Amino acid sequence: MDMFAMRRITALLLCALLAACATGPGKTASRASKESRNEAKKAKAKPRVANVNPAPNVTLSQPASTLGDTVQHIGEEVGGSLVLMNGIESRKVGPLGFKSEKFGAVVEHLAEMTGCKCKAYPNYWFVYVAGYEPVLDVTLAGKLDGAYAGRTAGMSFGSDTPLYEAFALLGDTLGITIVADNIVAEAKCGALTLANIPLEDGLDALLQSARLVPAAFQVESTAEYIFIYASQNVTPASALLNPEALTPEQNALLDKKVDVTLPVPQEDPEHRRMVLGATPLAKVLGTLSQSIGAKVSIEPGLDDLPVNPCALRQVRVRTAMDLLIRQWYQPEFGYRLANDQIVIERRK
């Protein structure tokens, strides 16, 4: 299967993850306006590290604008935690003038002005449209390893930021590993700004903003990583094909902890270079080999398998290989250790 065939399948499966309803006359959630795309470029993913009250009082004045721009403006001028469902960012609001208004009252006003609905969660407000109520039930409560208890994250993203970019940024910022398979990773979040809130809540907000429904994805979490994958993904937890044949030295190689950033290393995680779209597997082998300290090669015919941007932090080599291969969501690939070389190949 080549890269283009797999990406066509990914696109079809992604549709099953999303709440399949229109967001308004002549506008669907899967198609952003030119204005919202420009907004995403202006508001590239960036971490917000200040410990800000998720619901401060709002003093704000702005001319008529879009809902997406207003969320970014609130994040920059006020703080707090406000999340839009993807697809509504170009709706018009304003002009606006608030003076020490309660955060919730402002969100309710914005929702009413744009024909949307809103819901308050303990650490953020979420704005959506009628018909997408299933996304309200998204929760990672009880699904994350205890190693992430007490972790907080602040962030700000422009609309249409792919989840793979959001997860990679969070991983870089927090020094942890958050990866999605290629189906989930292709979903795009809405405009959002989050104060420092629990990591679990921040991930809930990202998934809700990308219009994912609870039954369509699963979460696997250990102290090493958080892996979010589509329910259709039936890849085994381990992609290693010859575990019984390994020597102690080879097992030691696989147990070595490494940092891996694909498709290319990032010199400064707080000013991350955004890479849009997947890179063919053959083009990341050099970076992968250098990162894990062993040559990685591939069986002929696998050159074009798509690798989305990701950041793996202090994971074992075996974990890095498993997370890479499990992104392809079909149980037909694995890796074999031959001497001191790792070979990615089809399962026989």
CATH of the domain at 134: 3.55.50.30
Whether the CB-CB separation of 171 and 313 falls below 8 Å is answered with yes
Q: How many domains does the chain have?
A: 2
Indicate the burial class of 128 (C-beta count within 10 angstroms; 0-12, 13-18, 19 or more). Answer: buried
> What pTM was estimated for this model as a whole?
0.85
Residue that finishes a domain, picked among 195, 212, 229: 229
Mean pLDDT of 64-90: 94
Mean pLDDT of 33-50: 37
* Confidence grade of residue 339 (pLDDT, cut at 50, 70, 90): confident
Same domain? 273 vs 154: no
Same domain? 298 vs 193: no
pLDDT per residue as tens digits for the range 238-263: 999 999 999 999 999 999 999 999 99
Helices (H), the chain: 3-17, 34-42, 67-77, 103-113, 163-174, 182-185, 199-209, 248-255, 285-292, 317-326
Same domain? 49 vs 193: yes
Q: Which helix (H) or strand (E) holds 307?
A: strand 306-307
Does residue 28 form part of some domain?
Answer: no
Q: Please provide the average confidence, as pLDDT, over all residues in the chain.
A: 86
Provide the token pair at 274. Answer: 């955004």
Same domain? 89 vs 203: yes
pLDDT per residue as tens digits for the range 91-111: 999 899 999 999 999 999 999
Same domain? 223 vs 295: no
Distance in angstroms (rounded) separating the CA atoms of residues 227 and 97? 42
Same domain? 323 vs 340: yes
In terms of residue numbers, what domain contains 244? Answer: 236-346
pLDDT per residue as tens digits for the range 277-288: 899 999 999 999
Q: Give the model's pLDDT for residue 259.
A: 96
* Confidence grade of residue 28 (pLDDT, cut at 50, 70, 90): very low
Q: Which residues pair with 126 in a beta bridge?
A: 83, 119
pLDDT per residue as tens digits for the range 317-332: 999 999 999 999 889 9
Provide the token pair at 30. Answer: 């899967």
